[in-house]
Amino acid sequence: MGSGKIKALVFDAYGTLFDVHSVAVLAEQLYPGQGSDLSRIWRESQLQYTWLRSLMGRYEDFEKVTSDALAFACQKLKLDLTAAKRARLMDAYHALATFPEVKDALGALPAVPLAILSNGSPSMLEAVVNNSGLGSTLVPIISVDEVKIYKPSPKAYQLAVEKLNMSDPGEIGFVSSNGWDVAGAASFGLTTYWINRTGAPMEELGLKPASVLHKLTDLADTLKPS
């Protein structure tokens, strides 16, 4: 699909631009032999809590959800989560590593607005974006905290339309490495690009992305006029 239709690009943050499992390095230092498992269960629980809270109508911001998911992961692995260790691990979420190709990929994109639409709380997103040096590249940074419900709710994707002052959702390209997020955005009507770094199967939700890419640097070529 060429870039003629796409007038803005909106990126998911966690797992797409920022590597959530970069916290495993610190987790391994704090809990030798358990870092990888802790990172995995923490992330799985974090996502599950966003969906469950949305379904229950019991919203808490992403900082609270992330902290609660960390506590659960430590309980599941029978790890002692002291206040000091919790603080260090939560701070790590404010300085997640970007995936290696991110800066080159963003720099190669056409001259359209580049934004973030994320489940992250405003303070978490501001910290991780500024720590990555991408603060001047990604504007605006849109948080679902404004509507108090998490992706993949249509209310979350509607924020992109409103914040970018666009009337046609199909003119917004939505980029995510999370298949469920791509499905939600496609259901809403955004033009979706799935960054499938691991060759994972697509969730069976009856929705397909406009393009499946193996790395973020493939996006620029995909957007070139046909």
CB 93 within 8 A of CB 128: yes
| CA–CA gap between residue 82 and residue 54 (Å, rounded) | 29
The candidate with the shortest Cα–Cα distance to 15, out of 200, 155, 172, 170, is: 200
The one catalytic residue among 12, 37, 91, 221: 12
Q: Are 6 and 112 in contact (CB under 8 A)?
A: yes
Q: Residues 140, 143, 145, 149: is their CA dihedral positive or negative? A: positive
How many helices (H) and strands (E) the chain has is answered by 9, 6
Catalytic residue list contains 12: yes
Please give the sequence-ordered ranges of beta strands (E in DSSP) within 69-190, or none if there are none. 114-118, 141-143, 172-176
Which of 120-157 are b and which e, b meaning 16 or more Cβ less than 10 Å from the residue's Cβ? bbbebbebbbeebebeeebeebbbbbeeebbbbbeebb
Instruction: Write down the residue that tokens 């943050």 correspond to.
Output: 13
Packing angle of the helix pair 62-76, 35-56 (nearest 10 deg):
130
Task: Give catalytic residues, as residue numbers.
Answer: 12
